[in-house]
Structure 1
Amino acid sequence: MTGLFKILIVDDDADYRETYRMLLVKKGYIIAVASSAEEAYKLMDREFYPLIISDIMMPGVSGVEFLKEVKDKYSKSIEVIMVTGYGSVETAVQTMKLGAFGYFIKSHNPEELILEIEKVHKIFSLQNVNEINKNSKKSRYLYTSKNKQMQRVYEMVEQVAESNSNVLITGESGVGKEIIANMIHDKSGRSNKPFIPINCGYFSTGLIESELFGHEKGAFTGATTRRIGHLEEANEGTVFLDEIGDMEEGTQVKLLRVLETRQIERIGSNKLIDVDFRLVSATNKDLVKAVADGKFREDLFFRINTIEINIPPLRQRKEDIEDLIYFLLNRYNKEMGKGITDIDENTKQQLLNYNYPGNIRELKNIIERLVVLSRGNTLKDELFKSSRLLNNDTEEKETNNKLSSYKEAKKNFEIEYIKEVLKSCNNNITHAAKQMDISRRQLFNKIVEYDLKEYSNDTN
């Protein structure tokens, strides 16, 4: 049940440090050691350790002083177990009053220490995430991280939110760029105004311009009514242009003009309309290269890129996977009315050890799939047979040899996922789309693309 749980051991006695390290590594924990409080501070600046095991009697900064500083700075986000070679009721009471989680005497049975560690780990694996969910402004997202890179992302969000500067969010597909865009909006002075997301890759040139700028009745064939565009609809709010690197050059020119003048024209009209919105864009492409290749306008790139926020892939922030697993499990539990209370340990280890080439989006789909297919109150290991989540080296090598590309693997996963959800919804497209949190039209397009009409009752 240890997973990727990190523990920092702080003790000036090298023999005790090594003894604890060997004992806890055998139990599966990730261990770091420090010979003093000063060395521990340096390690804590680089890594997050939810649990610290600290000696009380140390030269320089004592264990009691170290405990007080840790609790003052980190409060309940880090727990501390104090250890000593000299049992003292007074010292034990003092450290517990300062916030120590527990107290261990070195001459006692090490299993007592293991039990205390397991209690801390249990708190951080489920109860702490539940508290985060409860207190989160938007329970659909997890606005917290133990990873230094992501913590810097959140710090940057706090800094830029109150400005009106254009923000470009970069990162691989599925890392959660829209989540960060939502966070920027939620923390800004525009939070009570609309947040309008637009995926530039969904639409052809003509359609994207109608989506952005709107059109007048009769502006083109099929324009039977006036349509208010998203840039006008988002007035005083935030516009999120996802996959802006896919935008056609003609539309890029028009968007640039809007950003310079803060005015739009509906298609079929020559009337200028004032608009006031904050622009947040996102891409998984290398826009610098796209500019050099002549595929993206340099002037627009500089306009949208006042501030750039890069999100690391999930494989570089594995310390967050456990929190995300429980967060998503709780979310889908509520949405689907399931009674799942825990995850089978083998299943959990597979989830923790997987590299997630599709990032958070892939983790989200896997957890949703497992919850949909679950029976009883525990997610079981056998569910991986249908989710295609492989973890041992031999299976991974065989799978990599069979798959020609990630695109093909993603396609296969989507096909199986759509089949399973349709089956669970009695092949009803409308219900399945709601279950998948996408539009009915998007699901219909996927059914046509993958030739899955036989799995749906209605493909009109």
Structure 2
Amino acid sequence: MKQTKQHILIVDDELEIRKIIQEILSDEGYSTATASSAEDARNQARSRKPDLVFLDIWMPGEDGISLLKDWKDQPETDFSVVMISGHATIETAIEATKLGAKDFIEKPVSIEKLLAAAEGALPQKIKGEDVFSHLIQNTQPFSKRLEGLEQEMIKNKIFVMQSEEGQEKVAWARALHLKHYSEVGEFKQLQIKQKETSIEQERKDVFETLEDQKNATIFIENIKNLFEENKAPVSKKLIACTHNRPIKIFVSATDTNEISFLEEKNIAVLDISPLRNTLKEVPQILDTTIKFFVERDGHDYRRVSLASQNMLSKYQWPGNLRQLVDLAQALLSRKDKEIVNVDEIQEIITLQGPSGNILIENNLLSLSMKEAKKLFERAYLTRQLELVGGKISELSRRVDMERTNLYRKLQSLDIEYKKKKKPTS
């Protein structure tokens, strides 16, 4: 399995400068390309999106600042840029920084400065990083929403995070922690398990987590499962532990009814929009997800065709970000083709249930014949039931099975369905 190298584009009208920078970066193991003008740079970036661009300020025709302005705020050009120049003013450097340039280096370029600028501007190598936190920090529109949440964090210490299933609320909390609070202390995830312990033990576990001075950020999941007797004490403890202490507490919820026992005046509600609200950016998010797993796990890179991108931009994503990540992993597990086409996307989405979960897992061949048959039958009937809108009579005709036998089969496979009530005489 091969990993993709980080790709750097060098834009300069002087051939010798381009050759020197390219040689240095290639020797360091980077993939490189060069462009001699702004228009050439646009074509190169469209052909293969770079991770970093070294951009000369003064070029004949369109200069580097104009090109940087053109690239600014375009989702498909969200790569890092380092400006280079032999005779730039402080005002020019400030303008470039305001437009989003990561760094500014002067000619003649030394090897040390060049490599330091590249290392500082390139996305950090992925090791054991969580894919959801990575996407939230490195893709639009998630990174913009993250900035909005950061403003709320300045004013408050306790937050309720609301979103649909699959938007991975814990990842948003972890991303905020990594960006601002990892040096203060640890990130702690606390799950309230439904009545698996006594009232006293549950309260003790929650209090110990809140009082632990090592924890700078705490994410509380399933707070709705608290015993009624513990809701008031936990609410008071949440507020008390934030006094005179640099701590942020996130509470996961699907709606406000789950947290009605908390004192609202001390809490800010953070809403995470569903993925269908950002359909235009879905192809970019999917590509970033694929690159994440390529970099971390060593998969071969697969490019999604334009027709597939158009289809994904119209799909409603019932399983939200979790479904998109599952799709990326399913695509990378298939290694026969470099380009992902519409039929392949459609096939995988068809094998995902109404909530976006994969109905048939990749480890099918490790199962016994009996287990594999049951798994297939459940996936097949679940998807067919969804396609007929839950109508058993229509499902019976569609799969050619007598209705009584069909009911028994659905029950044996634990597939939920709505059985019509018999009319009363």
Give the secondary-structure state (helix, strand or coil) at the position aligned to 2:63.
helix
Q: In structure 2, what is the equivalent of residue 193 of structure 1? A: 185
* Cα deviation, residue 166, structure 1: 0.8
* Cα deviation, residue 256, structure 1: 1.4
User: Equivalents in 1 of 2:245, 2:367: separation in Å?
Assistant: 43
User: Equivalents in 2 of 1:122, 1:256: separation in Å?
Assistant: 41
* Cα deviation, residue 326, structure 1: 1.0
- For structure 2, the residue ranges without an aligned partner over 5 or more in a row are 1-49, 82-120, 369-411, 415-425
The one-letter amino acid of 2:165's match is S
1:410 aligns with 2:355: yes
Q: In structure 1, what is the equivalent of residue 147 of structure 2? A: 155
User: Equivalents in 2 of 1:122, 1:278: separation in Å?
Assistant: 31
The one-letter amino acid of 1:95's match is E
Q: How large is the Cα RMSD of the aligned pairs?
A: 4.7
Q: In structure 2, what is the equivalent of residue 242 of structure 1? A: 221
* Cα deviation, residue 363, structure 1: 1.0
CA contact (8 A) 2:76 2:284 kept: no
| Equivalent of residue 421 in structure 1, options 362, 365, 373 | 362
User: Equivalents in 2 of 1:187, 1:152: separation in Å?
Assistant: 14
| Equivalent of residue 302 in structure 1, options 241, 244, 264 | 264
CA contact (8 A) 2:199 2:229 kept: no
Aligned length: 273
User: Equivalents in 2 of 1:100, 1:203: separation in Å?
Assistant: 56
TM-score of the aligned structures, taking structure 2 as reference length = 0.51
Give the secondary-structure state (helix, strand or coil) at the position aligned to 2:188.
strand
- For structure 1, the residue ranges without an aligned partner over 5 or more in a row are 1-75, 80-90, 104-116, 216-227, 264-273, 391-405, 429-448, 452-460
* Cα deviation, residue 192, structure 1: 4.6
Deviations 1:207-230 (A, max 9, x none): 797466339xxxxxxxxxxxx954
Q: In structure 2, what is the equivalent of residue 177 of structure 1? A: 169
Structure 1 residues 99, 312: closer, same or farther in 2, change over 3 A?
Answer: same
Q: In structure 2, what is the equivalent of residue 283 of structure 1? A: 253
- Aligned pairs (5 A) from 1:79-158: 93-100=60-67, 124=77, 133-134=123-124, 140=131, 141-142=134-135, 143-144=137-138, 146-147=140-141, 153-158=145-150
The one-letter amino acid of 1:99's match is S
Structure 1 residues 248, 338: closer, same or farther in 2, change over 3 A?
Answer: same
User: Equivalents in 2 of 1:344, 1:127: separation in Å?
Assistant: 24
Q: In structure 1, what is the equivalent of residue 315 of structure 2? A: 354
The one-letter amino acid of 1:348's match is Q
* Cα deviation, residue 260, structure 1: 4.2
User: Equivalents in 2 of 1:367, 1:209: separation in Å?
Assistant: 44
The one-letter amino acid of 1:356's match is W
CA contact (8 A) 1:166 1:303 kept: no
Structure 1 residues 187, 247: closer, same or farther in 2, change over 3 A?
Answer: same
- Aligned pairs (5 A) from 1:36-55: none
TM-score of the aligned structures, taking structure 1 as reference length = 0.48
Q: In structure 1, what is the equivalent of residue 283 of structure 2? A: 322
| Equivalent of residue 159 in structure 2, options 159, 167, 189 | 167
CA contact (8 A) 2:302 2:332 kept: no
Q: In structure 1, what is the equivalent of residue 232 of structure 2? A: 253
The one-letter amino acid of 1:421's match is N
Structure 1 residues 341, 362: closer, same or farther in 2, change over 3 A?
Answer: closer
The one-letter amino acid of 2:66's match is G
User: Equivalents in 1 of 2:305, 2:80: separation in Å?
Assistant: 17
User: Equivalents in 2 of 1:385, 1:230: separation in Å?
Assistant: 45
The one-letter amino acid of 1:423's match is L
CA contact (8 A) 1:190 1:237 kept: yes
* Cα deviation, residue 364, structure 1: 1.2
* Cα deviation, residue 339, structure 1: 0.9
